Each structure stands twice: as structure tokens, then as C-alpha cells.
Amino acid sequence: MSADTPEKKVLIYTDGACRGNPGPGGWGALLIYGDRRRELTGGETATTNNRMEMMAVIEALDALKDRCAVTLCTDSTYVMKGLTEWLPGWKRRGWKTAAGAPVKNQDLWQRLDSACQRHHMDWRWVKGHAGDPGNEAADALANRGLEGAR
């Protein structure tokens, strides 16, 4: 897209689910563009809840063909703080935490970082299981992914 072409505005809700931690897990994403809605879901047989939360965002952003202005709603403080607060320090320290330990899930953090660079991101935290329709839909998709992985 050229600089004078407005970006598409996309609203995305993501969620992850896991039975046991680790255990079978699923992820879900609801993408909303105008009056169009797209549902994405998937899962893994042996994973963690944090990895499923991350995969939901990765898969949602990778599904966008063009650069977009994305409002991403997540109930995961791990994902949101990781991308908005912790990531620059991890990169400066060579993927080490402030305590010097290797960053967990580095493979997915790197994929997330790359996926976010392709879009203009606006992060929103939403309280999970509190009646937000988009979050509830993403939760249902994550649980569908979990059931498919079992």
C-alpha cells in the first residue's frame, strides 16, 4: 500500500485454551473487517496456555494479506505485556530476561514480533469470561481448537 492509501481497519479478538499445562491446547481468533467476520482455530496435542495465546495472535496477523490498522483484543496479559513492554529489553539482552535466564517461548516471540511489524498495532486488554462478545467468541474458538487437538 502506498503512504496515501488508508490502511484497512481490522478488529481482532484472540484467545488460547489448554487442558493441563502442559497438555492439549487450542487457539482461536475472530477477525472483523467492516461487516465481514472470519473465524480461525487450531490446536496442538502437547502445549501450554501461553503458547496457545501467542499462536492465536500469530495466526490472526498472518491471515491478513495487506498492511492493516489492527485493534487486537486479548485477555492475556502475558502476550500484551510481552509485546508492549518486555520485548525491547529481551532483544537488547540477546533474548535473556532481566534475571539473565533465556526467554521462554522465544520462537513464538520472534514470530509475533515479525507479524506485528507488518501492521499498525493498537493493543487492548479485555477481561476474560466477563461477557465481552468478541472475547467469548474467541474463547469458544480456542476450545473448539482444543477439542480438535485431543
In a domain, 83, yes or no: yes
- Active-site residue among 7, 53, 107, 145? 53
Q: Which three cell numbers stand for residue 127?
A: 477481561
pLDDT tens digit sequence for 9-21 = 999 999 999 999 8
Is residue 142 assigned to a domain? Answer: yes
Residue 114 structural domain: 8-149
pLDDT digits (tens, 9 = 90+) for 74-118: 999 999 999 999 999 999 999 999 999 999 999 999 999 999 999
- 39 is annotated as an active-site residue: no
The number of domains in the chain is 1
Catalytic, 53? Answer: yes
From CA 25, how far away is CA 22, in angstroms rounded? 8
The residue annotated as part of the active site, out of 26, 43, 59, 75, is: 75
Question: Which of 26, 59, 139, 145 does the annotation list as catalytic?
Answer: 139
CATH of the domain at 123: 3.30.420.10
**In a domain? residue 2:** no
CA 32 – CA 135 distance, rounded (Å): 12
Cell reading at 24? 492439549
**Which residues sit opposite 12 in a β-bridge?**
31, 72
Is 75 catalytic? The answer is yes
Does 1 map to a domain?
Answer: no
